[in-house]
Structure 1
Amino acid sequence: MITSKLRVPLAVATAAVAVGALAGCSGSGDGGSTAAADTYTWWDPYPQHEEGSDWANRVQDCGTEAGVTIERTAYDTTSLTNQALLAAQEGTSPDIILLDNPAVSTLADTGMLTTMDELGLDTSDIDSNLLAAGEIDGQAYGIPIGANTLALYYNEDVLSAAGVDPASITDWASLTDALAAVTAAGHKGISFAGINTEEGSFQFLPWFWGAGADLTQLDSPEAVDALQLWTDWVNNGYAPNSVITNSQNTVWEEFLTGDFGFAENGTWQVNSAAEADFPTGVIELPAMNGGVAPAPTGGEFIIAPVQQDTGRYETTKQIIECMTTPEGFVETANTFAYYIPPTDAGQQALLEEHPELETWVSAVQAAKGRTSDNLGTDYPLISEQLWTAVQSALSGAATPEEALAAAQEAAAAETGK
């Protein structure tokens, strides 16, 4: 029996939710509660995958397996969250949504989502670090269909010319030494995205977490260490001044020029890296004192909004199960070419087909959800102050200590904590 109660304030339902990290078809927007019994409604953030595409066919196959037809509508990431909130208020929620993982807590906080326990879905095989992005107070409100994350791509030719062995990079000090060697050899060191959007926070978090910092205390000594690292790289010429306005796409365009030794970027660039005009490699992002830094997870969760007709849940469960078997996770990974399955069985099956993804599987295993630690809807408020601090320090407007002190004060005022 589904017991979730809907509580969607108008102010929340109509507000823009800017938590997409990464990043079509139009539909009526009619939700599951008004749909025909043999038609189930599905929303996702993939307008680039039109009807007839591998992805669209995969969705329909899961409907066919459950004995129903799926009516699919695609929105861009931010529009999808807003449409979902409005539909919940109007009582027209779709049966299933694929939602960017930081936004799951936003929808769950309104009471518009069922929990996986309520649907009778077992999440015990899902990697706990990935499932945590969709958990609030111990309850899972969705299942990740896969995850992407960040690592360091490198240009083999540039590193070779500088005498840098990528295997020697195990911590911040050895990475900084490598950047010094690369720039001394006449090349550019590293590019990353320090832009004043969620992408800026997304790219800074591995260094923030890799120093041992926590999002509930933005001005900790560990946080200052992380921002000082980026600031020193810019001041010493190891990273260009352009990082302050770089998006992740811009970072990749800079890397593809062949001038940079390193670029921080994501799983979604695997195919592009393989097609680059120079040989490339990838290493996991190092933590300050060694080991792998937790990088934030990207990727969508499959979630089930509350329906007035509770008889629909059994078929919804079947569709979700189709998408989340080990084979289903691998099929999703192959369809998108950059999603790592969220279970050990799925990861091992993927590596059997694509052993070259081993570094990325390891990076996902070490990754962390941005809304983990029960941050929930506080995360977007904290993140905005974090990227603001990064901007302030990289521009020279404030020291890392000053920038993060201001960020912590503002975040505490926003969250009331």
Structure 2
Amino acid sequence: MHSSSRRLLATVALSTVVAVVGTACSSGAGSTDAKDADSGTYTIWDPYPQFAKGSAWTKLLDKCGTQAGVKIQRTGFDTSDLANKTLLAAQQGNSPDVLIVDNPVVSTLAEAGVLTTTDDNKLDTSKVDPNLLAAGQSGGKTYGTPIGANTLALYYNKEVLKEAGVDIASVKDWKSLTAALAKVEKAGKKGITFSAIGTEEGSFQFLPWFWGSGAQLTELDSDEAVSALSLWQDWLKKGYAPNSVINNTQTTSWQEFAGGDYAFAENGTWQLAGAEKAGFEYGVLPIPGSDGGNAAAPTGGEFVTLPVQDDTGRYTTSQKLATCLTSTQNLYDTDTTLSYVAPTSEVQNKQVAANPALKAWVDAVKAAKGRTSGDLGTKYPKISEQLWKAVQSALSGSKSPEDALTSAQAAAE
């Protein structure tokens, strides 16, 4: 694509990117330096500013560079900052050689003409789980490969459930989960906490229940969708979930659970370290579908992508760098560091062999799907905004679930 076209499309995409990033990410800052095309230096941008020079991550980047015969110039950005910097760099014809970016942003950057396809760049994605790869697909083309995935599941406090007489093996669907919450509440403890805040985090946390009902994002007002929102509303009405969920972020809802009084918390793999420090025995259960089985939860995590370059001769080396970063051993090491589930069954099996407690997370990731999957692409942010607004309306009591979702569907269209 010509750089003038890229400039135009990248400008259009700027407003879309901000809405879909930052669901489960770290903060920090970075600075950009122009790359010298003739110096044997290749630029890599990533959303891991927490990893400073000398960390295992930066050592891996340097190792992959050495194997490819080039030097690496790496910059770590805050996730939302990275998306915007990437679009601006594309306008200026100064994109990084390798870009590691939050998965919902991939389709936006692809539609803006910023990324090469795997057909163009020859990245091998054959071992990647199809449900995870789908987050990086748009218009029938694939625009990168996942470096790892995180998702949502239910953490549970074993002691609280024991005191309430709840056998976790009995929790298999919405009916049995609600029955467990009733027992917990009767025993004088607290039921379940989650994030229903009016941002992307609220949509992210509602989606497992939405998808677990059988609902589709193209039909927000379906009977299935209404049943999911009614479930959450009923939990608040009965006191099984606190009113604070309306304002809870994933961090504040986790803090509620870590206090030790809640039976369940919906949260992600990124809380594993916090769970170990919580001071009570915990377990993890994939979020159940309405009638049983594992609900599809949304995937978090990043894709390794190769942005469009005016100098197409750079792609061969960039492909070597991306292939190195996503090799079996390097995926295993990276995903252990990031508390991610790997995107391939081969590495997932290695993770579970090393830590059997990860099995519930691997099961959750295998059932998960990308928020932009099904070719939603840049339509997703608008749909998501209407979804979180509907959740807020229903949980605050200002609208019934039916009315809230009817309004959401009309606005999304």
Query: Which TM-score applies when normalising by structure 2?
Result: 0.96
**Count of residues in correspondence between the two structures:** 408
2:342 matched to which residue of 1? 341
313 and 247 in structure 1: CA distance in 2 versus 1, 3 angstrom threshold? same
133 and 392 in structure 1: CA distance in 2 versus 1, 3 angstrom threshold? same
Larger deviation, residues 243-252 vs 120-129: 120-129
Tell me which of 157, 160, 168 is aligned to 1:158: 160
2:75 matched to which residue of 1? 73
**Letter paired with 2:320:** Q
Counting only pairs closer than 5 Å after superposition, residues 12-411 of structure 1 correspond to structure 2 as 12=12, 14-15=14-15, 17-20=18-21, 21-23=23-25, 24=28, 26-31=30-35, 34-336=36-338, 338-411=339-412
CA contact (8 A) 1:127 1:344 kept: yes
CA contact (8 A) 1:35 1:41 kept: no
- Following superposition, the deviation at residue 10 of structure 1 comes to 6.2
Larger deviation, residues 116-125 vs 19-28: 19-28
- Following superposition, the deviation at residue 145 of structure 1 comes to 0.2
2:6 matched to which residue of 1? 6
**Letter paired with 2:218:** T
156 and 371 in structure 1: CA distance in 2 versus 1, 3 angstrom threshold? same
Gaps of 5+ in 1: 413-417
CA contact (8 A) 2:103 2:302 kept: yes
- Following superposition, the deviation at residue 61 of structure 1 comes to 1.5
Distance in 2, matches of 1:253 and 1:90, equals: 43
Distance in 2, matches of 1:10 and 1:326, equals: 33
Gaps of 5+ in 2: none
CA contact (8 A) 1:187 1:259 kept: yes
SS at match of 1:186: coil
Distance in 2, matches of 1:332 and 1:50, equals: 15
Distance in 2, matches of 1:276 and 1:10, equals: 44
**Letter paired with 2:198:** N
User: What's the C-alpha RMSD, in Å, of the aligned pairs?
Assistant: 1.5
Distance in 2, matches of 1:25 and 1:59, equals: 19
Distance in 1, matches of 2:13 and 2:131, equals: 29
SS at match of 2:20: coil
- Following superposition, the deviation at residue 37 of structure 1 comes to 3.7
Distance in 2, matches of 1:7 and 1:375, equals: 23
Distance in 2, matches of 1:10 and 1:385, equals: 25
CA contact (8 A) 1:193 1:244 kept: yes
**Letter paired with 1:235:** K
CA contact (8 A) 1:7 1:112 kept: no
CA contact (8 A) 1:44 1:73 kept: yes
- Following superposition, the deviation at residue 25 of structure 1 comes to 5.1
CA contact (8 A) 1:157 1:278 kept: yes
**Letter paired with 2:391:** V
SS at match of 2:304: strand
CA contact (8 A) 1:29 1:92 kept: no
Query: Which TM-score applies when normalising by structure 1?
Result: 0.95
CA contact (8 A) 2:289 2:295 kept: yes
- Following superposition, the deviation at residue 289 of structure 1 comes to 0.4
CA contact (8 A) 1:8 1:111 kept: no
CA contact (8 A) 1:102 1:370 kept: yes
- Following superposition, the deviation at residue 324 of structure 1 comes to 1.1
**Letter paired with 1:28:** T
Distance in 1, matches of 2:135 and 2:7, equals: 21
- Following superposition, the deviation at residue 277 of structure 1 comes to 1.1
Q: What are the Cα deviations for residues 182-237 of structure 1, in whole angstroms up to 9, with x where unaligned?
A: 01000000000000010000000000000000000000000000000000000110
